[in-house]
Amino acid sequence: MPVSIETFLADLRALVECESPSADRAAVARSADLVARVGTTRLGVAPERITLDGWSHLRWRFGDGDRQVLLLAHHDTVWPIGTLAARPYRLTGGVVRGPGCFDMLAGLVMAIHAVAGLAERTGVTLLVTGDEELGSPSSAALIEEEARRSKAALVLEASADGGALKTARKGVSLYEVRVTGRAAHAGLEPDKGVNATLELARLALAASALSDPAAGTTVTPTVFAAGTTANTVPAHGSFAVDVRAWTNREQLRVDHALRALVPLDPAAVIEIGGGVNRPPLEEPSSRELFGRAAAVAARLGLPPLSGTAVGGASDGNLTAGAGTPTLDGLGAVGAGAHADHEHVVVDLLPGRTALLRELVAELLEDES
C-alpha cells in the first residue's frame, strides 16, 4: 500500500463516522465534503464536485481522452442517521465493524489509495457517486457517460463470499402497477363499484407467473396498497414489482408482458409505471478483465482469484450496459452488507489494494 495500514484505517474510520444515508441529501453532501478532503490529501489534487438533483458526486480525472480506466465507487450508505450511536466503528481481532464499512466505504478508500500509489495516473478517472443505494437516480447518466469514454470499468463494490470478484450481475427492473376502479358502498351497492383490490390481486398473480426459474428470472410483487375505508369498494390501488434477470432478452420479455396486462373488468383502468432500472452485467463483459486480474494476483503472490454471479445490482450494471468491459466486486473482503454484522477483514486490505493498483497500471500500459 502507498501508506501504512494505520493511515488506511484512519481514513476508513473517518468515512464510517460520517453517516451518509442516501435519501438524506444534506448528509450525503457532508460525506462528499469529507471524501473530497481525504482524497485531496492522498491524491494531491481536489476533485470536481458534481451536484445533480441535490445529490453530491465527486470526480477525479487525470488526463483526458476516450480510453480511460474508470474506477467507480459510492459514498452513500443504507444506514439512517443515529445508527453509529448503536453500532460505532470498532477494530477488534483484525476485523473492522461499523455502518457502511463493507458496502462500500472500504472499497472507496481502496480506490483512493490505489490511485495514490500509481507511478503514472494519466488516463485514470475516479468517480464517487452519492445515490447508488437508491438505484442511482441522479448519477446513472453521469456513470454511463463516463463508461462510454472508458476502455475498462473497475467497480469497488465489496467482494462476494470468500473474496470472489463479481463477474455477472442480474439486471433490475422496477415497476408500479396502478388500477383505477370506481367507488361504491360495500354494503348497499357493491355491484355498482369497480373493485381495484380484486383487479390488483389478479394482476399480482399474473405478474408473478412471468417468473422463469430455469432462466433465473424473478418477478416479485412487493408493496401493495388499495382502498380508503373498510366499507367502500376500492377505487384506487397499486403494487410494486421487482424484476431480476440475467440477460437483456429476459428483461425485455418481462417488460413487454407486464405492459400487455389488461383488466378483467373493462371498466377498470390499468397503468404501468417504471421500467428497466439497471441492465444486466453479463459474464462476457467481465471475462477478459477477470483473466487479467487473476494473472496480476498470481504475479503478486496473492491467493488465486475466483469469480461468481450475484443477484444484486450495482453501478457496474450501468457501465456494462453502456458496452464497457466491467469487473465488479474488487472492494473489501468481509460480509454483512446492509446487515448488523457488517464487517471488513483488515489483513486482506493491503493485498486487495495492491491488486487494484497493479491492474490499473497494466491497463494504462495497453495501447489505446
Q: What residues act catalytically?
A: 76, 132
Q: Give 91-95's long-range contacts (Cβ < 8 A, gap of 24+).
A: 91/9, 91/13, 91/346, 94/345, 94/346, 94/347, 95/334, 95/343, 95/344, 95/345, 95/346
CA distance 240 to 221: 6
Measured at the alpha carbon of residue 349, what is the angle toward residues 339 and 45, in degrees to the nearest 5?
100
CA distance 237 to 318: 32
Length of the chain: 368
State whether residue 60 is helix, strand or coil: strand
CA distance 336 to 29: 25
Measured at the alpha carbon of residue 339, what is the angle toward residues 96 and 241, in degrees to the nearest 5?
145
CA distance 236 to 227: 6
* 70 and 151 Cβ atoms separated by less than 8 Å: no
Location of C-alpha cell 396498497: 225
* 105 and 75 Cβ atoms separated by less than 8 Å: yes
